[in-house]
Structure 1
Amino acid sequence: MAGHTPNPLFLLIFLGRLLLLAAQAQPVTVTVGLIFDGGSPGGKIANTTIPMALDDFYAAFPGSTARVRLEHRDSRGDVVAAAAAGALELMEGRGVRAILGPQSSVESAFVADLATRAEVPVVSFSATSPSVSPGAGRFFARAALSDAVQTGAIAALAKHFGWRLVVPVYQDDDYGAAFVPFLVDALTDAGAEVPYRFALPAGASSDAVAAAMYRMESLQTRAFVVHTRPDLAERVLAAAEAAGMMGEGFAWVITDGLTGLLASINAPPGLIGLAPYVPTTPRLRDVRRRWVRRFMRDHPGADSEHAEMGSYAVWAYDAAWAVASAAEHLAPGDLSPRGLVGGTGGPTDFAGLGKSSSGKKFLDAITATTFDGLGGKFELVDGELTAHAFRVLNTMDNGKERSIGFWRKNGGLTRKLGGAPGGCGSGFRPIVHLDVDPVTNWTTAGGFVVEVFEAAVRLLPYALPVEYVKAESMPYDMLVKKVGDGTFDAAVADITITAARSSHVDFTLPFMASSIAMVAPLRDDRGERTWVFLKPLRYDLWLASAAFFLFTGFAVWFVEHRGNDEFRGPPSNQVGALLYFGFSTLVFAHRENLRNNLSRFAVVVWCFVVLILQSSYTASLTSMLTVPQLEPSIADYAALWRGAERVGIMNNSFMRGAMDRSGFPPSRLVPYRAPQSFHEALLNGTIGAVVDETPYLRIFLKSYCDRFAVTGQLNKTGGFGFAFPKGSPYVADLSCAILALTESEEMNLIERKWFGESDGCAATQAGGPFTADSLSFGSFWGLFLITGATSLLCCAIHLATFVAANRRDIRLLLTSHPSWKGTLRRFAKLYDGKDLSAHTFRSKVTGRNDAAAAGASPSAVHHDAAASPISLSNHTYMSDWSLQTSSPAMAGCEIELAGAGGQAEEAATDEARDPNGSGENGRDN
């Protein structure tokens, strides 16, 4: 078979297509120059940060259509070298499309002028002097903050601390001189004066600086603002410390250019520094950790303690990211083989520079780029980075810094910036809430949790920098884990302390106690209580009342028995009279005539007590019968367990796990986010109860206390605490602060502010606001004490009177009966007898004798008795039986004997004493 020869034209087309596809697959290379001073701290930072930022960008966006390639140039701090060896050589020889740097403002001004001629964008991350600006150079962009911005913060400090005279100490060059006019204007607006300005050349010796310090001390000024390069600032601060101008009574403020390089100037303690506010985010923490390792690798001789990523590093990182992002907008057609086209001169001819074919498009892309950078939202307004806020910090003895507050352009000085990780639903805003400004991305927070945290921070012996970051909505178990792994430095939220969570983090002492409780709807059960008439009085009051009814009846019987026929008779009749009299006083229906003043006095006091008891009982019973009696529809957790009602719980809380561990059926749990949802679900019957922690239930009942009530606590919880990583030194200090806060009145004020008064809603307790509580013995024990003491006193007086009147008979009983039982029996028999000396019996006898003397015949008396047949077995008539005999003479005799009953008994007693009839009372029978 003959071989087939391929068509050459087809091979050429195929190879061309392959080359085209390969070219399209390769990203476009965009060359960017980097000019820095390799010997300066800022240059070392830039040399590490910018390559790292590009690596991170392309790791995050591996499919980028363009790749930035850096061309490094070291200016060594020389303006001419920066311009000639740097800018010109990069633009003409290397064809760079943009330049990052130069480092100083003087170099940047020179390079910006050349770049404007060549239309090559210059993006500076460290030129902060107001003398160089996008307004002066059209192709200059500042990815850093202008020094003029911080003058407002300095003026606010002067006003806050009352500095009347403030002296600027600045470097006498373009960097320092351009800053002073803005500072003077800001101080003047704040009411402070600038008596003089102190300018120092960049190369001033230590002796010259020391001499200047002594001159300033002689002028009696106490507040100074230092705005120089790091090497000169170190000499100035050392001279001030040697001259004794760093102690009490002096104030030294350093600008952000020095604060960002604080570790390299050996700053003495007590300085007030300003630094651009950089929000701490998980991304920033990750970059910082990697940056330190890379910085130590790039600069082996550097001190690891001074390797700190300050504001210069953040600006450099974001500037490189912005250039890499803008390079994506360049197409291959925008990039000519040579960097500059149309030039008429040589490589050193400034006037004959060519123009960049991509410069205008590249500059527009850079200035229009916005993203969330390490320093916050990256956005260039009129070619300059916008400022959100400044941190106010204080240097310490160990060379570290601590934040003491913040300054915002529209908000002034403040100790906090607001915000918190996590949060509750909109209905639980009093506990913790977050608000984010959509324009500035500024997070503010409030609520009970945030206010308690900030109050505890104020009690610390040092200033704790407070910066809140809003976390995504997540269960608190996950939030705690993120604190444990370093994603967050702390969690300030309504986090319940549990054993499982404590294995990941360290909690402070609880700042609010809590427990798991249940809320159920209230129902009116007036129609379901058959024995409601017993409800007004508690059992102890019922028993006490019955006992005093009996005791009062006994006291009256004891006093009236010997002198009142209505309290005599057979034992059964006496017991009946005792009970009837005692209980009839309940309705004031007693009809017995009391003959003794002692019993009358006891009954008057007792009737007063009965009147109060009766009125109270009537009022309570009326309330129970007429006012709605609200009771929970589910009495307790046991009833909830036995029933089939579904239960509402808080979303993202630990309640689901707690209920599952208790064995409650998971199918009956319904999560909700807001108390409004609880309210609607309880009313329409979707759920029968809500089980949650008491702080949330207080918020719920504060709004809906008229229909729901807490039916009892199920069990205690660990309370709310702030979470920190394991081993955090802040845990112990904040715990002590929380204890101090809890013991003060401030905690009560905060709690009342966000939760209201603890008894502001009566429905928070079972039974509702209109339930009439049963009356107890404790409310009336004073009255019972009075009536009991009165009755007992009356009985004691009556007994003493009886003993005194019968002392001879009692003495005889004691001597003639050695057995105490016999003595007691004879004493009772003696007391049971009639007291015929009482006026009640004397009046009865006198009345009968008078009738006989008037001539009434015995037969008439007998006739009258026979005309009215009676039952002679009744005890009321037994006493008169001797009067109703068939013999009139005998009847008269009986009358006489009855009338002389007292004397007969006395004679019998005397006869028993003297049976022979002799003695004082003897007579002839």
Structure 2
Amino acid sequence: MVAIFPLAVLLLLLNSGTVQSTPFPVRVGVVVDMDNYVGKMGLNCITMALSDFYTKHGHYQTRLVLTKRDSKRDVVGAAAAALDLLKNVQVQAIIGPLSSMQAPFMIHLGNKSQVPIITFSASSPSLLSIQSPYFVRAALGDSSQVRAIAAIVQAYGWREVVPIYVDNEFGHGIMPFLADSLEKVNVRIPYRSVIPSFATDDQIVAELSMLMTNQTRVFIVHMRTTLGSRLFSKAKLLEMMSKDYVWIITDGMTNELTSMDQSAIEEYMQGVIGVKPHIPKSEELHKFKVKYKKEIQLQNPTNHDLDLNIFGLWAYDSAVALAMAVEKARIRNATFLKKANDSTTPTDLEGFGVSGIGTELIQALSSTTFRGLAGEFKLVEGQLESPPYQIINVIGAGARAVGYWTNDNGIVREINFAKSTKKTYSTSKSNIGFIMWPGDRKNPPKGWVTPTNGKKLRIGVPVKFRFFEFMHITWNSDNSTKVEGYCKDVFDMVIEALPYGVQYEYVPFATSDHKRAGSYDEFVYAVYQGDFDAAVGDVTIIANRSHFVDFTLPYTESEHRINEDFRGPLWHQVGTIFWFSFSTMVFANKERVISNLSRFLLIIWFLVVLILTQSYTASLTSMLTVQELKPTITDVNELIRNKETVGYHNGSFVLELLKGLNFDKSRLLAYNSPEDMHELFRKGSANGGIAAAFDEIPYVKLFLAKYCSKYIMVGPTYKTDGFGFAFPIGSPLVPDISRAILNVTEGKKMMEIEKKWFENDTKCADSSEFSSSNSLGIESFWGLFMIVGIAGVLALIIYVTSFLYENWHVVRPGSDAETTLATKSLVLVQRFNNKDLTCHTFKNYERRVNHNDCGCDCARIVMEPSNEYFHPSPSTFSQNSPGNNSPPSPISSSP
């Protein structure tokens, strides 16, 4: 018994080894289009992947056994193939299908039978909406690339793009994700161009011709190469592959560029840019590419389709991942579980059971990770994790990389896989290499042109009785109009600064007899009613109007008085005020002055300093006296208590403001022009005129420009946001125009427009013309400074002449023939530096001891620079608070 036991153990071990040496077969179906390049490539890669894998992993106890079916490029054919594999072969997984159109029905079949459906090429994001736990995309969904495309569009500042996509599941699936991504970077999609999957050449030409009539010149093409190559050939025929055009292709075409006819690429697609997943280089990938070409040539020596693209790599990795998952799930004798009513099923669609190992297999597959030929294989929510994307530019017969896009860093020149704690997202075009654009253009196109049939926006403009500087409408004999003014010029400049073209025309807000059609509130309300596409003019941004329209940012300054000497940053202004007040100082010199020439020069300088000091003292006195001038009225409540009559600009919102301040309606008078306001002021409140006027600061400045010596602007001010352009609520133009306003208001063109219409207003609005005529500056004392300069030069000449005369025996010619000129000059310098003992300051020893330097030779003059005082206007006074609003402000007469 003891001897028999080891023998039994040995036989058991041998029997166990025999069992383990026979792998368990696991049936797997493959559904592809056999006559399609991608289908044939994918099938070859799957076969080679299993051969390579089991050669390296011969100890595995499972083996995938492939059963191939041809989907015949048809949705019904793919469904029939899948149904046959599930019912008759009872496969435990299906690799396929190729297209997004074939996938939905197969996914439902896999979900019903609990058999994993693994695709390596169906990329439509909408497939995930089926929410089948048994669907795996061992490839990238089209939604993975939309952020990369949006980053490129943002980098070059294009604000409108037109997608051109195929009219099927593949084409429609990407659109919601692309639209959302573009919207996040403020890019509009004004039109979507949909091309039928079986479109004729005439249909393609008709659609492209229509696109040529619109202004947008940035196109995003999302389709496969079979249709895409035809699209670009017709675009070339219509001269749309020329300058001003931008063509961006998705990875639906970039992934297959290597399989396209190279002559077609050179002829039709030059300058196209696109994105495709980045495939890291590896030794395994290089070896497989070489092996793949050899294998294809052995199968068919006349076959020229030897190029391997990313779909083949994904097919290879799919097969490897499935083989690893089957082994990980420890599948043995996999069978289908028959349904209870299976024998009575009326149709073949229900004539299959449920996989007994489907749940374990899908769980193992979802957790499988490894480094494949296409990069890291890792499934996230049922599909491959998004890798970096490569930005390519089509030049010649192929494409070259010009940059990359990553989730964390945006657009980068090179990919740095080193882990970094600092993540900065960039969309700078400086990180993109040189791009040759269509038409051999080296500079990026602006992305739009003036459309040939675009609808013109109707821009409403107000009819003004006066204040024509802001807006002025002139009717011609043929009833056409000419619009001029500050507001019109600013709007034209802002529209010109937009990154795309806008066609528009000015339409007066007027009656048939060329009169104003209503108040400014009614003018704004006309935009709300759809009579105008926008309102341009001296329209103030106030709260009640914002209920009906969207305003752009204000384009006028408000609340800040215009004086160029006191503009700038806050601390600069404060520093300027104190500098004018305390910079002048006069003090006596502590050094003794002995030289008569120095004394002469100092006498002249002291005379100049005395004049300067006295002049500025008088100027300061005058300034302080002016500041004591007070307006006759400074309080709104005083106007109400005394029942004074006040004026307001006719048609302005100020009328409602005054009513809100409890002014009696009978005490309110309207004026239409600066002349009307002046006349009302001249009459006075007691004689049918006004005691004060309330108006917006831009109008006040114009008024003071004409009558600034008689009136003064006082507070308090009531805040508004200045003048703005009004658009319908939700208009996409509002943010773009607001950004353009910020850009142009700080430029030189804005200053030129202001100078054109208000050239003399800023000076008189602060009465600087009065102060400048009486104020003192450096130029007022040029004569005194010239006298000081002449005296200084004269003293120098006299001293040098006297010194040379006294030492002429040293430098005169012939005094010493052997002495050179350089030696004589050195002696002369030494004599100048030595003490002059003949000077009266060295006549006795004590004075020689007390004074080491000869006062006859040198004198020290200490001078302090003079400063100017700023003189404010003698006729205006403002109590403005800081800000950028354009409020109305009361005006009253100065005493």
TM-score (norm 1): 0.43
Which structure has more helix as a fraction of its residues? 1
Per the normalisation by structure 2, the TM-score is: 0.45
Larger RCO, structures 1/2 (Cα 8 Å, 6+ apart): 2
